[in-house]
Amino acid sequence: MRPAQEIEGRPIRCLTVPTGCRQSRRDRGWRRISFSLLWTCSETGSSMKSGGQLYFHAPCFDGIVSAVLTWDFAEHALGWAVRRLLPVNYGLRSTWLRQSLREPSAVVDFLYHPKATFWADHHSTTFLTPAARRDYRLRKSQWLVYDESAESCASLLWGHLWKKFRYRNPAYADLVKWAAKTDSAKYSSVEEAIHGTAPALKIHASLFYGDDNEYPAFLVRQLRHKQLATVAGLPRVKERFKRFALDVKRGLKVFKARSRLDGDVVVFDIDAGDTLVPRYAPYYFFPRARYSIGIVRRAGATKITAMRNPWREFASIHIGKLFESFGGGGHQRVGSVVLRDGDADRPDEVFQRLVTRLREGRSPSADRRKRVP
């Protein structure tokens, strides 16, 4: 057994206990829980240090921070060594439930999988089938963490690990704060969202180039042991952010020429090529719009994306659920769907249907401008 770690100044045991064993109530660092739902040990209490897998949403800052928190918790509280970091994205949606996960496996900020030993997510579209949702309800335990109202997966984990296990690493407090800010679009202004230069925002911006699956894993490893400012200053991050700043200037020009305001909805159609169009560009040029929706065309795939204006208060439809009905997904405030080349005739048809649904679902209630601190 590993030497005891500490939670709230009290020693805890690594979970190398027999299947079905229950912690004593005297061990105040843990609630009295059954470990048969956790990474199962043999009846002789074999070590849990053998290799585990950690799947996390990428390229996504929240997914990366969630991976850092999960890795830290698994290693220091559970004695479980993470051997493989596996970035995943929604291109796997059609095959995800058929994918075999080796045990033990943790999946964070991503779609529910029945074989995940530990899972956490906050996306309302996380259950791909009714059967997956039923499986979650049957297995529901402290090792499966879900709340679609959470601002981010990282903040969900931050609260859950403290509430259930009294475990929290204060070194990651700033990471969690920025994950919530970027994932829930709680930026103070559209200017901060597009041109922000805080260390966390530089790292976040560096993820716009999703052509390298190794890069998100690199960031997880760096952020586990280094401060945000230190990681933002690494040559690999600095190079990407410098490229981002230049591409944003070009992208804003392209967006301005290819967008228009239709009522209170920003509509755009962009042949992106190698152009980077900032996510919040619609509200940079049309700050009073309620929604934006557009087509971003690239070689091999066409993406339709929509979001509501995060700097206005009004009752809106659930955009993620709207996109789920077209094979995509997202959050309350943002959604997208990717159509491959085989669907070449569909983008314009799907786009028009989504625009119509956005307009039909628009709330007539009065709205007001958010106060910006």
Query: DSSP assignment of 152-171, as one string?
Result: -HHHHHHHHHHHHH----GG
Q: How many CB atoms lie within 10 A of CB 191?
A: 11
Task: Give the list of residues 6+ apart from residue 192 with CB closer than 8 angstroms, or none.
Answer: 201
Band of pLDDT at residue 341, cut at 50, 70 and 90: low
From CA 122, how far away is CA 124, in angstroms rounded?
Answer: 6
Check if the beta carbon of residue 103 is closer than 8 Å to that of residue 94.
no
Residue with tokens 């070689």: 299
Where is pLDDT greater, at 343 or 183? Answer: 183
pLDDT confidence of residue 360? 78
Q: Using DSSP bridges, classify how beta strands 10-12 and 368-369 pair: parallel, antiparallel or unpaired.
A: unpaired
Phi, psi of 287 (to 5 degrees): -65, -20
pLDDT value of residue 369: 39
For the chain, domain boundaries: 5-171, 190-215+227-248, 260-369
**Quick check: 319 and 333 in contact, CB under 8 A?**
yes
- Residue type at position 320: G
**What pTM, to 2 d.p., does this model score?**
0.78
Across residues 77-97, what is the average pLDDT? 90
Instruction: Check if the beta carbon of residue 69 is closer than 8 Å to that of residue 161.
Output: yes
What's the confidence (pLDDT) of residue 74?
A: 93
Which pLDDT score, from 0 to 100, does residue 135 have? 97
Q: Confirm or reject CATH 1.10.287 for domain 260-369, answering yes or no.
A: no
Residue type, 158: W
- The pLDDT score that the predictor gives to residue 242 is 96
Give the model's pLDDT for residue 367.
40
DSSP-derived 3-state class of residue 294? strand
User: What strands lie across the sheet with 82-88, from one edge to the other?
Assistant: 82-88, 52-57, 105-108, 118-121, 144-146
- How does pLDDT run across 266-320, given as a tens digit for each residue? 999 998 776 788 989 999 999 999 999 999 887 777 889 999 999 999 888 889 8
pLDDT, mean of residues 357-370: 52
Q: Which of 1-10, 106-115, 221-230 has the lowest mean pLDDT?
A: 1-10
Q: What is the mean pLDDT of the segment spanning 72-101?
A: 91
| Residue 101 pLDDT greater than 60, yes or no | yes
Tell me what percent of the residues of the chain surpass a pLDDT of 70. Answer: 81
Q: What is the chain's length?
A: 373
Name the burial class of residue 266, with classes exposed (0-12), middle (13-18) and buried (19+) by CB atoms within 10 angstroms of its CB.
buried
**pLDDT score for 342:** 57
**Average pLDDT of the residues of the chain:** 82
Rg of the chain over Cα atoms, rounded to whole angstroms, equals: 22
DSSP β-ladder status, 144-146 and 118-121? parallel
Per-residue tokens: 285: 């040029």
Check residue 27 and give its pLDDT: 31
Please state, in angstroms and rounded to a whole number, the distance separating the CA atoms of residues 242 and 192. 16
- Yes or no: say if 108 and 122 are a contact pair by the CB < 8 Å rule: no
Tell me the torsion sign for CA atoms 219, 86, 80, 148: positive
Question: Both tokens of residue 143?
Answer: 């090792």
**Locus of tokens 């709230």:** 8
